[in-house]
Amino acid sequence: MFLSDSEKKTVSKICDALRKNKNFILTSHQVPDGDGLGCELAFFWILQRLGKKALVINELLPPRVYSFLPGFSEVLPFDAYKEKEFIPDAAMVFDCSSKDRVGKPLLLIPESATVINIDHHQGNSLFGDVNWVCKNRSSVGEMSFFIANYLGLLDKRVAECLYVSILTDTGSFRHNFNSDTINVVSELLKTGIDPENIADNVYHNNSLQALKLLGYALISLQYEPTFKVAWSVLSEQIFKKIGATEQDIELVIDILRSVEKTDFVFIVKERRDEIKFSLRSRKHFNVRKIAENFGGGGHNSAAGFSIRNCTLELAIEEFFRYLRKNITDSD
């Protein structure tokens, strides 16, 4: 498994910061996915073994399918945070290309705190005091393995969390991975984790609300052959009617990704004062370029953005106006 000399120096800096500081906030983007959450929980256990105090705080709770992970019950949504006497002297931010993607937990990080930014998104703004950004890595989980290994703290709990990071961000090893990824996974398996049980929990443990949401998405499913794109619209009323949350979206968009003859798919959903677009690609189509045009970001194969102060209909119209003008540039 290869780390460049510059990466080795950065990993050493991160480990020095972990040893030096005492109180940590661990966070990711507003609705953490398997990669961000897996890293948060892995470092929750790592920091405990280093004798540190760590709180895992995100703007919203992660999807319920990850509730089997060790430490999941420790994860707090921002609105439930009440430990006013806890003053972090460091923060670890996973899987975020910019501070804005963190959301409300930023309010808990004082300016004096050391911010460790670990990410694999192209275009990361390098907002940390220590930045490790590598767009060639499959996931932040893959990167985090090297830190755990450097510290000699790769145990079964940490390995299970990091395996989930890699498994989910590669789409079950369907994209964005290479031989280094497989070598890292091999080391994780040596700790005794059960990949079959993990996969069963991640992919066969959907909530009733998520499945109902999928039903509505399939009813509203549309296809535009000009752009080879399939999409569905999920209104705020639908979420309220069935009690679904934004965390239930992942199942929906993964199923839409299977529509034949598509280059990419997207879900449009309402969330308070904004219209959110979640995009996923197939066949190496670059959805990140599309998202960046609207002020969003992500990976080439998975990206998203929001349009504020706009109706659902106008947001979709603006999106397709962009596609008509630029679709060949985004391929």
pLDDT tens by residue, 118-176: 999 888 899 999 999 999 999 999 999 999 999 999 999 999 999 999 999 998 998 88
> Of 203, 237, 255, at which residue does a domain stop?
203
- CATH number for the domain spanning 253: value is 3.10.310.30
Place of tokens 């998405």: 217
Same domain flag for 197 and 230: no
Checking DSSP bridges between strand 264-271 and strand 297-298, what pairing results, if any?
unpaired
Q: How far apart are CA 144 and CA 148, in angstroms?
A: 6
> Of 150, 172, 203, at which residue does a domain stop?
203
Quote the percentage of the chain above a pLDDT of 70.
98
- CATH number for the domain spanning 35: value is 3.90.1640.10
Q: 32 vs 186, which has greater pLDDT? A: 186
Same domain flag for 311 and 242: yes
Return the beta strands (E) in 103-161 as ranges.
Answer: 114-119, 130-133
Same domain flag for 302 and 195: no
Same domain flag for 191 and 221: no
Same domain flag for 199 and 217: no
Same domain flag for 190 and 273: no
User: Is the CB of residue 58 less than 8 Å from the CB of residue 77?
Assistant: yes
Least confident of 17-26, 90-99, 153-162, 241-250: 241-250
Same domain flag for 198 and 294: no
Q: What is the pLDDT of residue 330?
A: 41
| Number of folded domains that form the chain | 2
**DSSP secondary structure string for all residues of 83-119:** -TT---SEEEEES-SSGGGT-GGGGGS-TTSEEEEEE
Same domain flag for 194 and 233: no
Type of residue at 32: P
Q: What is the span of the domain harbouring residue 122?
A: 5-203
> Of 145, 174, 203, at which residue does a domain stop?
203
Q: How far apart are CA 135 and CA 182, in angstroms?
A: 17
Q: Which of 71, 176, 173 is nearest to 122 (CA)?
A: 176
